[in-house]
Amino acid sequence: MKELNTPVMFEDIKDLKAGDVVNISGKILTARDQAHKRIIERGKEKTPCDLEGTAIFHAGPIIEGDKTSGFKIVAIGPTTSMRMNPYEKDVIGMGAKIIIGKGGMDENVAKSLQDEGAIYLVAVGGCAALYVDSIDEITDVHWLDLGMPEAIWELNVKNFGPLIVAMDSHGNSLFDKNNRKK
């Protein structure tokens, strides 16, 4: 198992291959469809969190509390990543190096991962409680007007995983029929 610490640079992930298993420590961001759309509309300079070298988790966490009393994460699991296909190429181009989600992503995302030196990791379904235990704290939240699951949550994590490299920075994909063993 490979341990990654965010923010990452290409040198940190260049040797990872489709099928490798990793854990992440550091800061990760959650972002779903509406957050991705707003990131693209506003651009890198007007996005409230730094995307450079970040890990973006396609997840809509269940959160208790509010800004006054504080937030507590109850559950967090991956959401279907293909819904972010229209936006992900641009978000990766803004500096995100790790995308985490569920299921496959399209050829445009695969090309962008290769062009920008980034990776796509699959989170294991059914591990929501395990992933919650890896979250040390919620450090910030942005765009709550989109709703709790669609907001961007900044999370400090330790040994967040297991995560499987599904699409690497060399164009290999676990979802590519040509790479499947028969």
At the topology level of CATH, where does 2-173 sit? fumarase (3.20.130)
- Residue ranges of the domains in the chain? 2-173
Positions marked active-site: 36
pLDDT at 66: 86
Tens of pLDDT, residue by residue, the chain (182 residues): 999 999 999 999 999 999 999 999 999 999 999 999 999 999 999 999 999 999 999 998 999 998 888 999 999 999 999 999 999 999 999 999 999 999 999 999 999 999 999 999 999 877 787 899 999 999 999 999 999 999 999 999 999 999 999 999 999 999 885 555 54
Task: Classify 178 as helix, strand or coil.
Answer: helix
Task: Classify 76 as helix, strand or coil.
Answer: coil
The 10 Å CB-count burial string (b at 16+, else e) for 95-119 is: ebbbbbbbebbbeebbebbbebbbb
